[in-house]
Amino acid sequence: MEAITITLNGVEVSGHPGMTILELARESGVDIPTLCYDPHLIPIGACRICLVEDERSGRLSASCVTPIEPGMVINTKSPKVMERRKMILKLILASHPDTCLVCDKGNRCELRKIASDMEVGLIELVKIPQLATIEEVNPFIERDLSKCILCAKCIRADHELVVQGAIEYINRGFTSKPATLNDEPLEKSECTFCGTCVAICPTGALMETKRPYSGTTAAIVSTICPFCGCGCNIDLEVKDNQIVRARPGKGSTVNRGTLCVKGSYGFDFTRSAERLTSPLVKVNGDFQVVSWEEALGLVASEFKRIKENYGSGSLALLSSSKCTNEENYLLQRFARSILGTNNIDNGSRLYSAANIIGLGSPVGFPGTTNHLDALEQSDVILVTEVNLTSAAPIVEYAVKRAVKYKGAKLLLIDPLQTGLSSFAHLWLRPKIGTDIAFINGMARVIVTEGLLDEEFVTRKTDNFEALSSELERYTPEYVEQVTGVPSDDMRHAAQLFAGATTASIVYGAGITQHVTGTNCVMALANLAMLTGNIGRRGGIYALQRDCNGQGACDMGTIPNLLPGYQSVEDTESIKKFADCWGTSLSADVGLTAVEMIEHAKDGKVMSMYIMGENPVLSFPNSTLVKEVLESLDFLVVQDMFLTETAKLANVVLPAASFAEKEGTFTNFEGRVQRVRKVVEPLGDSLPDSEIVLRLANSMGCPMPYSSLQQVMDEIRDLVPLYQGIGYGSTETKGERRDELDRDPFRNRRLYKGQFPSGFGRFSPVQYEPPVEIPGDEYNFTLLVGSILHHSGTGSKTSRSPRLSEFSPEAYVEIGPSDAEQIGIGQGDEVKVISPLGEVTTVVRFTTTLPDGVIVMPNSFSSTPVNQLFDIVLDPLSKTPALKACAVKLERI
């Protein structure tokens, strides 16, 4: 492509064809004011404030929509431009209320900024009366459309970025405004309160409401959202050591100007009155406030005593998929080198551990194989058993964008209706627990109809013969009989998937939280390899529930794997770490999360250290979990809140929130991103890393780090995946640049067309009928899932004033005809009873459920659904089945 040269304010500059004058001007450091332009949106040239003059013709044009042409002589500030721009500005201001002084948009208002830059006062024209504020009762967004300048940015963000379709202009002329369907308040519309439109609105027309703290922003700090595994970049605005608001991080290729409701509004949990602010020690059943020295001294002496009396194997540690990489790294080093045990696991065991073997063994790397951008470029996207709306909102946006604007075809495999159903080219609803049969059926069609990518299969994979013979059973007729999906539809799905140039697969906990989770992941990996969609284009997207689920595993808080998935049974790996840490290390595989409980029950584990996890709410059979934790010789819980688990502890250590510490999170794509301190830790709380370091000191075995940077340096040296990653030149004053983000995927060889071991290995897996089949007594299948406004067990989100106001309690969804049969109505209180336990909740009708299936959210401490599940582990991943169980309903 030839570069195009133009003259810009007397200077020659060049850009590439297709670039607009505005883009080239910004690149060249020339400022042109804009109101309706945003780099994430398709420009529409509506406001005309960005006018420039072509001096050759004297023509004025809107620079945001005018492409550069050779020989242009552009003046961005000619008298003619300035005069016209002022006129336009005055016209906009004429219909704008004089409330600037009290408007909360304050200095962020682009209209006000432009007016003051151009020295235009507010009242020079006769005012046009404006529409009134809309009555809204949601705790997130308030609209004052009298301040609307009709730039359509909110509408375009809603359609082009988050693809929700909640708002659009209504009417025309003076009464035109952005509105929901039937002009209802937002809470009665399709709006998800993602906050994207609020962040992009150039005026005070759209604002956040119920801010935890008001005031003019004094500083903006870029960091990472602490909720789901998507890893959205957020900019936190601060004043007086308080977070004022969160906005989508500028320039992020992860979330591209968007967030979800949790990222935009959920940070207010950090100032919850329930935050722990000092260490607590239980004396005669009551907690007493103590100093850090006292608390850590007690923990150190107890750990030493237990280790000496019962051996290292009697200690077990649960690390957190919500803590940073550095914190996870430190805790596993503490466990392995100081306590001498591999009994360390992290919270992602409960939802994504199936990836470790399920992807690790066929593909060679236990995680997502390509980046989000490549997902959006796919021709066919297979989404299996995951409600992206709640589990991974920005992945949902990407899928919807691909379908709506890029012609991608969505294959949705889910018995339940989700936000993506209306976007699906084909929505297939196999019976619960029959996914393996379905996916194998697709694979068989691909093999028997010769639709596979033969070159890829021959050159890049092995074990194909075994796979194809094992697939024999999965004839379309058999698969139809097992899954209930018509064989023609299944075949159509297979043909579509195999026929695509690039096809991607997205899955989450709906696959991995079943007893057969690991096998199902392998079935998906087979499908991707058969069609050549791995290691070069397309890919497998394994979602993570928590902000650092991927990183915690990468960091080796896993009982059989050292950091970087290096086996504890491999003498060379063990030696590498032992040498670095200057100790000997155990080569015995440790216990996974739920096994710790089982061993504690048998008296083999005497003491546990739990960092940032809440097993009483997250593990199956909570009654047992509670009993066991209570009966431990010594329990330490490190958390921000006095969770159900912390209440059982002997010592509670108060941890700082994500906004109060430094470090890195690794998102589900494998992108390592920087978490930054925004405000000081609350009270006496400390970052988890600091607590672990101090504890090591108290044990008399200090770990040799004087900064987190040194921890990351060590990780870089010992973990091949993190090679080249470092804090780099991050903390220079003013602009913060991150070496970290420059090439986030450089070490993931999968992105470059190679399997780490050279070959992908097909792993045939068989369908087994689900164990959760309902019977005569327990006649419903309960599915448990996440909801948009909460995450995990809700320990953070239930303490976010705004999120919990909007979504205060659990419910059970049931189809009206099922409900009628057992005589319950909408809003009735019911007991949901399994052989193991019961919970009480209220009934909500949902017309789209399959017969005999009911659904409950998992994030409410007042309705602990985990109580209903018995401990049944996937034999390979040791993940407890927490997705489906047989229950009955009783009206109260």
Partner 1 sequence: MDKTVETAKPDLKQVDEILSRYQDQKWPLIPLLQEVQDEIGYIPPEAIEPIARGTGLFPVQVQGVITFYEQFHTTPRGKNIVRVCRGTACHVRGGRTILKIVKQNLDVEEGETTPDMNFTLETVPCLGTCFLAPAMMVNKNYYGKLAPPKVRNILQQYDNAGD
Determine which residue in the list 30, 46, 527, 865 makes contact with ligand FES, applying CB under 6 A.
Answer: 46
- Member of 150, 446, 636, 652 binding ligand SF4 (CB under 6 A): 150
| Calpha distance 182→184 (Å, rounded) | 5
> Binder to partner 1 among 159, 307, 401, 545 (CB under 8 A)?
159
Phi/psi for 764 (5° steps) reads -65, 135
Which of residues 61, 78, 164, 544 is near ligand SF4 by CB under 6 A?
Answer: 164
Distance of alpha carbon 538 from alpha carbon 502, whole angstroms: 5
Cα–Cα distances in Å, from 254 out to 231, 371, 400, 438, 503? 7, 9, 15, 32, 20
391 binds, among partner 1, ligand SF4, ligand FES, none (CB under 5 to 8 A by kind): none
Dihedral (C-alpha) 819, 825, 826, 828: value to the nearest 10 degrees? -110
Q: Which residues touch 220 (CB under 8 Å, ≥6 apart)?
A: 235, 236, 237, 238
Cβ-based nearer residue to partner 1, 170 or 281 = 170
Among 45, 97, 185, 852, binds ligand FES (CB under 6 A): 45
**How does DSSP classify residue 561?**
E
Strands (E), 591-710: 607-611, 634-639, 651-654, 663-666, 672-675
Phi-psi category of 582—alpha, beta or left, where left has phi over 0 and alpha has psi -120 to 50? left
Question: How distant, in Å, are the alpha carbons of 73, 194, 473, 636 from that of 429?
Answer: 60, 28, 21, 45
92 is an interface residue for ligand FES by CB under 6 A: no
Number of residues binding to ligand SF4, judged by CB under 6 A: 39
- For partner 1, give the closer residue by CB, 182 or 732: 182
Indicate the SS3 state at residue 152. coil
**Is residue 36 at the binding interface for ligand FES, with CB under 6 A as the rule?**
yes
Q: Which of 6, 13, 24, 49 binds ligand FES (CB under 6 A)?
A: 49
Q: How far does Cα 18 stand from its chain's mean position?
A: 34
Nearer to ligand SF4 by Cβ, of 621 and 858: the residue is 858
Name the residue among 73, 689, 728, 642 with its Cα closest to residue 325: 689
**Residue 888 phi, psi (nearest 5):** -125, 160
Among residues 22, 148, 699, 843, the one that binds ligand SF4 under rule CB under 6 A: 148
Applying CB under 6 A, among 63, 78, 146, 203 the residue interacting with ligand SF4 is: 203
Residue (of 263, 206, 557) closest to 394 by Cα position? 263
> Quick check: 329 and 323 in contact, CB under 8 A?
no
The residues that bridge with 208 in the sheet, in sequence order, are 141
**Count of residues interacting with ligand FES (CB under 6 A):** 12
3-state secondary structure of 565: coil
Is 34 a residue that touches ligand FES (CB under 6 A)? yes
Q: What is the DSSP letter of 61?
A: E
Binds 206, which of ligand FES, ligand SF4, partner 1, none (CB < 5 to 8 A, cut-off by type)?
Answer: ligand SF4
Q: How far is the CB of 180 from ligand SF4 (least distance, A)?
A: 8
Return all residues near 269 (Cβ < 8 A) that are at least 6 apart: 657, 796, 797, 799, 800, 803
Q: Which residue has the tokens 């004429």?
A: 94
Among 206, 354, 783, 856, binds ligand SF4 (CB under 6 A): 206
Taking the complex as a whole, the smallest distance from the CB of residue 178 to partner 1 amounts, in Å, to 9
| Strands 634-639 and 651-654, sheet pairing | parallel
203 touching ligand FES, by CB under 6 A? no
Site membership for ligand SF4, residue 178 (CB under 6 A): yes
167 binds partner 1 (CB under 8 A): yes
The verdict on 410 binding partner 1 (CB under 8 A) reads no
Pick between residue 744 and residue 815 the one whose CB is nearest to ligand SF4: 744
In the bound complex, what is the minimum distance in angstroms from residue 48's beta carbon to partner 1? 21
Helix, strand, coil percentages for the chain (3-state, nearest 5): 35, 20, 45
In this structure, what DSSP letter does residue 796 have?
Answer: T
Q: 708 phi and psi, to 5 degrees?
A: -65, -30
Q: Select the span of 79-87, 133-141, 162-170, 332-340 touching partner 1 (CB under 8 A).
A: 162-170
- Can you tell me the distance from the alpha carbon of 614 to that of 799, in angstroms, rounded to the nearest whole number? 15
**Segment lying near ligand FES (by CB under 6 A), choices 28-36, 142-150, 274-282, 652-660:** 28-36
CA 878 to chain centre: 23
φ, ψ at 685 (rounded to 5°): -65, 155
The string of DSSP letters for 94-149 reads: HTS-S-GGG-TTGGG-HHHHHHHHTT--S-SSPPPP-PPPPP---SSEEE-GGG--
Tell whether residue 193 is a contact of ligand SF4 (CB under 6 A): yes
In angstroms, give the least distance from the CB of 232 to ligand SF4: 3
Shortest Å distance, C-beta 262 to ligand SF4: 4
Per-residue binding string, ligand FES, 697-736, x by CB under 6 A, is ----------------------------------------
Closer of 26 and 647 to ligand FES (Cβ): 26
Instruction: Choose between 63 and 389: whose C-beta lies nearer to ligand FES.
Output: 63
Min. distance of Cβ 20 from ligand FES in angstroms?
Answer: 9
Q: Where are the beta strands (DSSP E) in 720-789?
A: 760-761, 780-785
> Using CB distances below 5 to 8 A depending on partner kind, what does residue 64 bind out of ligand FES, ligand SF4, partner 1, none?
ligand FES
Binding mask 60-79 for ligand FES (x = CB under 6 A): --x-x---------------
Query: Which of partner 1, ligand FES, ligand SF4, none does residue 50 bind to, with CB < 5 to 8 Å depending on kind?
Result: ligand FES
* The entry of ligand SF4, partner 1, ligand FES, none that residue 45 binds, CB within 5 to 8 Å by partner kind: ligand FES
Which residues, in sequence order, are CB contacts of 835 under 8 Å at separation 6+?
A: 778, 870, 886
The binding track of 377-396 with respect to ligand SF4, each residue x by CB under 6 A or -, is: ----------------xx--
The distance of closest approach from Cβ of residue 170 to partner 1 in the complex, given in angstroms and rounded to an integer, is 5
Q: How far apart are CA 843 and CA 546, in angstroms?
A: 29
| Binding segment (CB under 8 A) for partner 1, from list 170-178, 345-353, 541-549, 635-643 | 170-178
Q: Which stretch binds partner 1 (CB under 8 A): 178-186, 282-290, 477-485, 755-763?
A: 178-186
Cα-based distances in Å from 490 to 262, 379, 824: 36, 18, 36
152 binds ligand FES (CB under 6 A): no
Please report where in the chains the tokens 């998935």 appear, as a residue.
565
The answer to the question of residue 35 lying near ligand FES (CB under 6 A) is yes
Q: Which of residues 412-431 bind partner 1 (CB under 8 A)?
A: 422
153 binds ligand SF4 (CB under 6 A): yes
Least Å distance, CB 37 to ligand FES, is: 4
Using CB under 6 A as the binding rule, whether residue 154 contacts ligand SF4 is answered as yes
SS3 221: strand
The reply on whether position 201 binds ligand SF4 by CB under 6 A is yes
When the beta carbons of 166 and 628 are compared against partner 1, the nearer one is 166
| Cβ proximity to ligand FES, 23 vs 396, nearer residue | 23
Asked if 51 and 62 touch (Cβ cutoff 8 Å), the reply is yes
Which residues between 214 and 253 bind ligand SF4 (CB under 6 A)? 225, 227-228, 230-232
| Contacts to ligand SF4 by CB under 6 A | 148-154, 157-158, 162, 164, 166-167, 178, 191-197, 201-203, 205-206, 225, 227-228, 230-232, 255, 259-260, 262-263, 393-394
| Contacts to ligand FES by CB under 6 A | 34-37, 45-50, 62, 64
| Contacts to partner 1 by CB under 8 A | 159, 165-172, 179-182, 190, 404, 422
